[in-house]
Amino acid sequence: MRPSLRLLNLEVQGSRALYVCSVCRQEARPRPIVARQFLRHASSNADSLSERVRRKIWGTDNPPGLKDPYGESLLEKRFGKPKPQQQEESQVEETDELAESSDGLEPGVSYEPATSWHGLERVGHLGGWSDAPPSEADTYGSFGPKKKLYKKGPLSLAAHQAAVEISLMHALNKPLTNVCNVVEHDKSVFKMIWQTKILPNSTNWGEALEYRNENAKKSLFYIFEQIGSAQPETAKPADENAEVEEFEDFEEFEDPSGAASKQAFFGYQDARFKGFLTLPLTDPATKFAFLKRFSQLSGHFFPDNIVSQISTVKQAVDYIQGQLHPKPKKLAEHLENNKRLQAMPNIKIFSKRQTTLHRDDEMGRRKIIESELRARGLLE
Amino acid sequence: MKRLQLQRWSSSVLSAQARTGGRLQHRLYNGIRHQSTASPAAPTANDQLIEEEPLAPSIHPPNSRQSKYQLPSPPVEAARESAKLAALHARLYLPSRLPLETLARSLVDASADPNPKFNNESLATLGHDLLTHYTSEYLICTYPRLPLTVIFAAMYAYVGPKTLAAMAREWGVESAAAPGGEVDPGYLQFKRIPPGADLKPVTGTARPHEDQAHWRKSITSSVVYDNEFGDPVKGPKNPSEQSKQDAQNIKGVTAEQANATFVRAVMGAIYLHAGRPAAKRFFEQHFLSRHLNISDLFNFSQPARDLSRLCARENFEQPVARIISETGRKSRHPVFVVGIYSGQDKLGEGAGASLLEARSRAAVAALKGWYLYSPLNVRVPSSMEEEGAAPWKPVHVDLGEVIV
pLDDT of residue B367: 95
The nearest CA of chain A is from the CA of B258 a distance in Å of 16
CA distance, residue A183 to nearest chain B CA (Å): 54
Does the distance separating the beta carbons of B80 and A348 come in below 8 Å?
no
CA-based nearest residue to B208, from B228, B227, B224: B224
Does B178 contact A at CB distance below 8 Å? yes
How many pairs of residues across A and B have Cβ atoms under 8 Å apart? 45
Residue B190 belongs to a domain? yes
Instruction: Tell me which residue range forms the domain holding B361.
Output: 300-371
pLDDT at A246 over 60: no
Q: Is the dihedral of CA B291, B292, B294, B300 positive or negative?
A: positive
Q: Which of A342, A346, A371 to mutate to test the interface with B (most CBs of B within 10 A)?
A: A346
Say if residues A168 and A209 touch (Cβ distance below 8 Å).
yes
Determine, yes or no, domain membership for B77: yes
Of the listed ranges A189-198, A235-244, B124-133, B364-373, the one predicted with least confidence: A235-244
**Which residue does chain B place closest to A346, by CA atoms?**
B83
Q: Does the distance separating the beta carbons of A362 and B182 come in below 8 Å?
A: yes
Rg of the Cα atoms in chain B: 26
The 3-state secondary structure of A303-363 reads CHHHHHHCCEHHHHHHHHHHHHCCCCCCHHHHHHCCHHHHHCCCCCCCCCCCCHHHHHHHH
**Cβ of A345 and B183 within 8 Å?**
no
Label residue A265 exposed, middle or buried (CB < 10 Å: 0-12, 13-18, 19+): buried
Q: Where are the domains of chain A?
A: 3-94, 152-324, 331-375
Mean pLDDT of A258-274: 70
Q: Inform me whether the pLDDT recorded for A344 exceeds 50.
A: yes
State CA A268 to chain mean position distance.
32
Interface membership of B176 toward A (CB under 8 Å): yes
pLDDT per residue as tens digits for the range B308-361: 999 999 999 999 999 999 999 999 999 999 999 999 999 999 999 999 999 999
Residue B183 near residue B189 (C-beta atoms within 8 A): yes
Q: What is the pLDDT of residues B52-64, one digit of tens each?
A: 444 444 444 455 5
**Per the domain annotation, does B154 fall within a domain?**
yes
Same structural domain for residues B82 and B197?
yes
CATH number at residue B330: 3.30.160.20
User: Quick one: pLDDT at residue B33?
Assistant: 42
CA-based nearest distance A373→chain B, Å: 16
Q: A44-68, pLDDT tens digit by residue?
A: 566 777 788 888 888 888 887 776 6
Beta carbons of B177 and A361 less than 8 Å apart: no
The count of domains in chain B is 2
A372 CB neighbours in chain B (<8 A) are: none
Same domain, B305 and B290: no
Q: Does B100 contact chain A (CB < 8 Å)?
A: yes
Assess whether B79 and B193 both reside in one domain.
yes
Say if residue B88 is in the same domain as residue B186: yes
Chain A residues inside the 8 Å CB shell of B69: 367
Q: Residues of A with CB below 8 A from B179's CB? A: 364
Angstrom distances, CA of residue B139 to CA of A316, B150, B206, B292, B381: 75, 10, 27, 11, 12
Do B179 and B283 lie in a common domain?
yes
Q: Are residues B306 and B269 in the same domain?
A: no
Domain membership of residue B267 (yes or no) is yes
With residue A367 as reference, give the H or E element that holds it: helix A366-375
**Whether B209 and B186 share a structural domain:** yes
> Are B363 and B263 part of one and the same domain?
no
Task: Please report, for residues A125, A224, B41, B363, the alpha-carbon distance to residue B334 in angstroms, rounded to integers and kept in the order given.
Answer: 125, 123, 64, 20
Q: Are residues B235 and B184 in the same domain?
A: yes
Q: Is B69 on the interface with A (CB under 8 A)?
A: yes
Which of B295, B312, B342 marks a domain boundary?
A: B295
Q: Domain boundary at B257, B277, B295, which?
A: B295
What pLDDT, on a 0 to 100 scale, did the predictor assign at position A117? 84
Q: Are residues B35 and B168 in the same domain?
A: yes
Q: Model confidence at A32, in pLDDT bands (50, 70, 90)?
A: low
Half-sphere exposure of A276 (CA within 13 A, CB side): 28
Q: Which residues of B touch A361 (CB under 8 A)?
A: 182
For residue B348, the cross-strand partners are B340
Q: How confident is the model at residue A129 (pLDDT cuts 50, 70, 90)?
A: confident
Evaluate whether residue B203 is within a structural domain. yes
Picking from B83, B180, B189, the nearest residue to A348 by CB comes out as B83
Q: Which of B229, B261, B295 is the last residue of a domain?
A: B295
Residues B215 and B350 in one domain: no
Q: Looking at the structure, do residues B108 and B169 belong to the same domain, yes or no?
A: yes
With bands split at pLDDT 50, 70 and 90, how would you rate the model's confidence at A241?
very low
| Residue B394 included in any domain | no
Q: Which of A347, A348, A363 faces B176 most closely, judged by CB atoms?
A: A363
